[in-house]
Structure formats: structure tokens, C-alpha cells
Amino acid sequence: MYLKHLELKNFRNYRKLTLDFSEQVNIIYGKNAQGKTNLLESIALLCLGKPVRAKKDFDLIKWEEEYCFCRGYFQESDYDLQIEIGIGTKEKRIKVNGQIVKNNSIFGRIPIVVFSPDDLQIVKGAPQLRRDFIDVYLAQIDPNYRFVYYAFYKVLQQRNRLLKQGFVNPEELDAWNEQLVEKGTKVIRYRISLINEVKPFIAEAQHVISGAKEDLDLEYLSFNGQKLPEDEEVIKNAFGEELQNLKGTELRRGVTLVGPHRDDLRLIINQKIELKNFGSQGQQRTAALALKLGLIEKIKEARGLNPLILLDDVMSEFDDQRKQHLLQLLISSSQTFLTSTSKQDFPINNQHTIFFLVEQGEIDHVQY
């Protein structure tokens, strides 16, 4: 899959923009605060149907304007896809090939992997960030996952509402517990299965980038740090037990404390070092990159499509050798968009690469 052509109107700091991209490498460079990240954000919006960076859709509208609009022409070997997204202060409208579709229906249609300096937080930050990371990519790998997660989420919300009331009818709580275990177990199984499948790809990426110095292992942890097999009965039993253990606390605090919404992903280097607390900066950065590189491979395998790859400001952190290596790894088959403040970050020059210079929301100078 690749993005041939992009049009923007009132999107962030772009008043009007029309661009044609290379099928392979697109390098977007320019000084700070010119619109490099904003451009990538518009591409991600077309693939996911919702913003990756902005909290609200309307944050994407150019200041002082009332709406914004993005249109992308995508191409796969045997078909085209035109996606249009219009956002007003109160509403959003999405069209696929000219037909209005539900706002949440385009998520994952065009797979995309976004790298940004914030990725380090997936390794270092709160468990929520690791869960979000798993969920976003799981939904792109298996579109069915979103429905599985949503079914759990609805039960979670209703159970929380019940707990918050203060007075809880034990029979009603039992009924919700059953639902929570049922739906939550499905989510956990999906996640464990994904982690098991991507583990070798991610380990391979870490191995290569670290110059064969590091092995990276991933463990999905449920219910206060338990590592469980991908077995429905085992997960259900552990879930039920933990609900019993925390029953008093849940009633006191009025919130659901057990379930996939509290789980975590542990990253371990060289069999014993927990990366979050004991890894070096370099090891953590490499792992943040490896996680996503591994997913690219998994997406290709599961979807039979090459995802678009967006790298925001990631190259500057690596030495020339690693840069070359990383570029080679990425550019092999997917369409790639890279941003940097320096053109020198990219020691490449061939007919498949287009350089774009961004200045104050305008891309007026294109150099081949």
C-alpha cells in the first residue's frame, strides 16, 4: 500500500497543500516548528481515522479556521483507495471512494507504523502506554480485535457504574463478574497471542540494531504480574480468583481493579534485566524501535500488505552506520516518510527518494 497524492486544507499550520509522494522514500526536512510532524499527522489521520498526537479532532483545524480537510489517494497493486476526512468544530465526516462511511470504520484499513521520539515512553512510561501500544497494533493486525475490546470495555464501564453506586446487590455483581471474566479473557488471549507471535521479530530487530549484543524478551503480565499461558480456562480461573481477592477493595474504591485494563507488558534484556528500570538509554531507545520494527514484519505477514512507515525525528539519534542500517531495514519494501531538521541525516540519493523542504506550512521546494 502506498500514498500517491495528498491534499490538505486548513490542517494545523497548512493553509493549502498538494503533494505527490515517492512510492519508496520521502524525506521531509526543515527547521523546527515548520510543519514536519503536522504533515505526518495528516497521513496518520487518513490511515487511522483519528489523530495520533492531538487529543481532539478539532485540534487539527488551523487556528482561527472553522474546518479542516485531508484527502489521500492510496494505491495497492490492483486497486486504488481515496480517503477524505473533513473535520468541523462539532463534527467529522469520512468518505472512502466518495462514499460516506462510519467514522470508526477506516481504522486499520491502511496499515501504518509510526515511530516518534515519544516511543521511548512505551518502554519507560506507565503501563497504560504499553497497553495502548499493543491495542493499536493488534487492531491493525486483526481488525476483529476492536470488537472484542469494545465488548469488554462496555462491560467494564457498566460494572464500574455499579461499583460507584456504593450499594451493590451481590447477585448483580456476580452477573457482571461473569461478563467481565468472559469478555476480558478474550482480550487477554488476543494480547498474549500477539506478544508470542511478534516476540521473535522484535528480538531479531533488537539483535540486529544492537550489533548482536542484546536479546530482548517480552512478557505479558495479567492480574498483578502473573505470566499466564494463552489458555482460556487458566486465564478465566486466575481472573475469577483475583476478583475474589480484591472484592473488598473494589467495593471500597468503587472501581474495577482486575482485568486487561490493568495489565502490563514487561520488557527484559539479556534474560534478566528489566528494561524499564535498569536498561540504559541506548538499550531503551533500541527496544522502542525494535518493538515497532517487529510489528512491521507481523503486519506484512498477517495482512499481506506493506504498512506505511512514518519516522518522526528518529534518525538524528543514531550514528551513521546505524542510520544506514536502519534505512536499509525500513526501505526494503514499504513506503517510508522520514522527518529531520537536517538533510544530512540521510546519506541516500537515488531516483526512489524525494526530498521535501518545509517552511512555515509550505512545501514549495522539492528536490530529487
Please identify which residue in 9, 24, 37, 73 interacts with ligand ATP, judged by CB under 6 A.
Answer: 37
C-alpha torsion angle, residues 271, 276, 281, 283 (rounded to 10): 30
CB of 35 to ligand ATP, least distance (A): 4
Q: What phi and psi values does residue 86 have, to the nearest 5 degrees?
A: -115, 130
Which of the stretches 28-36, 98-106, 146-154, 288-296 binds Mg ion when contact is defined by CB under 5 A? 28-36
| Residue indicated by cell numbers 538533510 | 343
Q: Which is nearer to Mg ion, 34 or 210 (CB)?
A: 34
Distance, in Å, from the CA atom of 180 to the CA atom of 236, rounded to the nearest integer, reads 10
Please identify which residue in 22, 26, 34, 335 interacts with ligand ATP, judged by CB under 6 A.
Answer: 34
Is residue 37 within the footprint of Mg ion (CB under 5 A)? yes
Spatial neighbors of 350 by CB under 8 A, at least 6 apart, are none
C-alpha R_g of the chain: 22
CB of 333 to Mg ion, least distance (A): 26
CB of 238 to Mg ion, least distance (A): 43
Is residue 351 within the footprint of ligand ATP (CB under 6 A)? no
Size of the residue set binding Mg ion (CB under 5 A): 2
Strands (E), the chain: 2-11, 14-20, 25-29, 67-76, 79-88, 92-96, 99-101, 112-115, 216-222, 226-227, 264-269, 273-274, 308-312, 336-340, 353-359, 362-367
Distance, in Å, from the CA atom of 48 to the CA atom of 94, rounded to the nearest integer, reads 11
Which of the stretches 32-40, 249-257, 330-338, 344-352 binds ligand ATP when contact is defined by CB under 6 A? 32-40
Please identify which residue in 5, 9, 13, 236 interacts with ligand ATP, judged by CB under 6 A.
Answer: 13
Is residue 237 within the footprint of ligand ATP (CB under 6 A)? no
| Interacting residue ranges for ligand ATP, rule: CB under 6 A | 12-13, 30, 32-38, 59, 61-63, 313, 341
| Interacting residue ranges for Mg ion, rule: CB under 5 A | 36-37
